[in-house]
Amino acid sequence: RKEVEQDPGPFNVPEGATVAFNCTYSNSASQSFFWYRQDCRKEPKLLMSVYSSGNEDGRFTAQLNRASQYISLLIRDSKLSDSATYLCVVNMNTGFQKLVFGTGTRLLVSP
Amino acid sequence: GAVVSQHPSRVICKSGTSVKIECRSLDFQATTMFWYRQFPKKSLMLMATSNEGSKATYEQGVEKDKFLINHASLTLSTLTVTSAHPEDSSFYICSAKISTGNTEAFFGQGTRLTVV
């Protein structure tokens, strides 16, 4: 089983739609979780951290389910500019730091 | 946010030569730096984790003698691709963490390596 798994997509949605991505992780000892966004041929940029109680930042909501070992990202009212690859990142933190990325989920928002 | 500078952004080299990529944290001290490789339309693959003053921890399948990592200071880590071959052509990205806590990582701009 991969350490971090995501559906690669692509998810094709119209503007204004709500879309959700899930990400599962294998190591139950993982302690911190993030969603990054990567545009084509660019470096990843932090979108948001994922907190145990769930957190929201504008149109973006992140959730963590430790029991089932997955995190989710919900995007409401999709914009064209949201088109990108969304990367789930898990800090395994098993005695030493280890940031592992999922394969990324590609989102395409169309007019 | 914190700034990580990676240099060079693009390099073309001949087969058999070595290439050094630098990763600097400009406004913070990075106790841990990570090196990733990304092939076209693929995910970032962790190559190694570098802790200042100690040996890097390499992921399975990554040759430590081929990809030399040096993290000599809290603001600089280098990756040297030795005896490069065309199959080493890829996008290499470094990232740095401010502390050993549950903080996010900041990424360099990436280096596109082409071996001809």
- pLDDT by residue (tens digit) across A20-66? 999 999 988 888 899 999 998 788 898 998 988 889 999 999 999 99
State phi, psi for B75 to the nearest 5 degrees. -125, 5
The verdict on a CB contact (< 8 Å) between A44 and B44 is yes
Mean pLDDT of B13-25: 96
Q: In angstroms, rounded to a whole number, what is the distance separating the alpha carbons of residues A86 and A57?
A: 15
Chain B residues whose beta carbon lies within 8 Å of the beta carbon of residue A39: none
Q: Which B residues, 63 through 92, put their C-beta within 8 Å of a C-beta on chain A?
A: 91
Chain B nearest-CA distance from A99, in A, is 8
pLDDT, position B100: 61
**Cβ(B102)–Cβ(A31) below 8 Å:** yes
pLDDT reading at A19 higher than 80: yes
pLDDT reading at B12 higher than 70: yes
Chain A nearest-CA distance from B35, in A, is 10
Mean pLDDT of B30-41: 87
Name the average pLDDT for chain B. Answer: 89
pLDDT, position A42: 85
Strand partners, A87: A36
Name the average pLDDT for chain A. Answer: 91
Chain B residues whose beta carbon lies within 8 Å of the beta carbon of residue A46: 1, 104-106
